[in-house]
Amino acid sequence: MSWFSGKKYRRVRCENILELIKSPNANEQVIRLLTDSPPVISFTKTGETHIMLKIMSDDKNFYFNFPIGQEHEMEKRDGSKITAVYEILSDNILKQTVRTPDGKTAYFTREFTETGSKMKVEFEGSETIATIYYEVVD
């Protein structure tokens, strides 16, 4: 994972996002995450078993240091709390499973390249998959 560790990414385009958020399994918190103005994000390896997620928006910056493969609680930008698990599936694929307070589950699978990232978003119980593309920024 170290080859994308520390790079910053910004969302540049989306596919099927409107179809996904219309799904009956969509959660309001996840919809806000997908439709808010795009923050800059980065993942940094902070040890053998931890990764730090940085979310940098116009008004606030958030830092989350989380264990790989272990469920943990995370506070979102709006102050609400979710449960998340991050798994490294390969050298360039990071999967995040999010459970919201209402019991709904979303899956975010990020595939990193040298110049960007592609994230597939799925809601449990929905057949629709949205794809979000990111580019590396300075």
**Torsion (CA) 51, 41, 87, 84 in degrees, nearest 10:** 90
Beta-strand relationship, 93-99 and 81-90: antiparallel
Cα–Cα distance, 57 to 136 (Å, whole number): 16
DSSP string, 18-47: HHHHTSTT--HHHHHHHHSPPPEEEEEE-S
Residue 113 lies in a domain: yes
Examine residue 21 and state whether it is found in any structural domain, yes or no: yes
Report the DSSP beta bridge partners of residue 78: none
pLDDT digits 0-9 by tens, 50-69: 999 898 887 788 888 989 99
Rounded to 5°, the CA angle 66-71-74 comes to: 55
pTM comes to 0.82
45 domain residue, yes or no:
yes
Q: What is the CATH number of the domain that holds 61?
A: 2.40.128.20
Domain membership of residue 2 (yes or no) is: no
Q: Which residues of the chain have pLDDT under 70?
A: 1-3, 27, 29-35, 77
Burial class (CB in 10 A: 0-12, 13-18, 19+), 25: middle
* 3 falls within a domain: no
Instruction: Decide if 65 is inside a domain.
Output: yes
Mind listing the pLDDT tens digit for each residue in 76-88?
767 778 899 999 8
Q: Domain range spanning residue 95?
A: 8-137
* Number of folded domains that form the chain: 1
